[in-house]
Amino acid sequence: MNHPAFSKSNVAVITGGASGIGLAAAKHFAGLGMKVAIADLGGEKLEAAHGEIVQTGPALAENVISIGTDVTRIDDLKKLKELVDKAFGGTDILMNNAGIQPGSSVFDAKNWDHIIATNLMAIVHGCQIFGPSMIERQKPGLIINTGSKQGITTPPGDPAYNVSKSGVKTFTEALQHELRNTKDCYVTAHLFIPGFVYTALTKGNRTEKPSGAWTPEQTVDFMMKSIAAGDFYILCPDNDVTRDLDEKRILWAANDIIQNRPPLSRWHPDFESRFAAFLKETP
């Protein structure tokens, strides 16, 4: 059974809604009879996504709007809320899903500001702009923030992305604590942590989905079941990585601090054999 926020005629706003997981979520919500607003950079991609969603199930043209939005601009996010309020009367579900991963390195400033602004600060600002009025509605609502496993185990190779997604985890934990301690608040926050999903962000030069990846639709289905179960941490598996393996990787990363090991010891040559043994021995 779905969470009550996914009721027919309720309103969902999805950033990064023109492709990948965002588009799959928009189609799913529209198929439930919800009113859906997708926000993404304006252009043909957004127009095409709008057309796809309108064709979904019982969704009618008047129940779907697409709004060109640069999530790194606070004024754009405020305008997004204004247009949604005008069209649909408010928001019940906010899915902060927009994200980028152009690559980064520690000592090269290129991409850092844009990655942090898109992946982290847009989520912070989105919650600050939409959250208060969602609480005031005094009805079940959801704020779903898209994080990443890279924000938890922080593998080497793309530090700006890892920092942004680590921030999303910390912010969303604080957000849920704030919401559950707010009187007459029926809105909950959830940290959405996809696995390997075949999207425009991850496909690179590939033209076909790798066997190890999930589709965006599979990922959204898992998200829906997790929210219905009341999960805050929506830790998605994929066809290569099970939840059990994810849990062991997360536990090893946490033990770097507890055992005073070098940071990112999972990738340190002195700990390679110990990590392999840990994976076999840990129940």
Report d(CA 97, CA 186) in Å as an integer.
Answer: 21
Of 120, 130, 128, 126, the C-alpha closest to 168 is 120
Say which of 161, 186, 198, 233 is annotated catalytic. Answer: 161
Determine phi and psi for 250, rounding to 5 degrees: -65, -45
What does each C-alpha distance from 162 to 115, 147, 202, 267, 279 come to in angstroms?
10, 10, 15, 15, 23
What does each C-alpha distance from 252 to 164, 201, 249, 260 come to in angstroms?
21, 27, 5, 12
Beta strands in 69-218 (DSSP E): 93-96, 141-146, 187-193
Report d(CA 18, CA 39) in Å as an integer.
Answer: 7
Q: What's the token pair of residue 240? A: 């290569």
Contacts of 238 (CB under 8 A, 6+ apart): 195, 196, 197, 212, 213, 214
Instruction: Determine whether 186 is an active site residue.
Output: no
Task: Calculate the CA dihedral of residues 272, 276, 277, 282 and round it to 10 degrees.
Answer: 130
Report d(CA 180, CA 189) in Å as an integer.
Answer: 9
Report d(CA 104, CA 111) in Å as an integer.
Answer: 6
* Active site members: 161
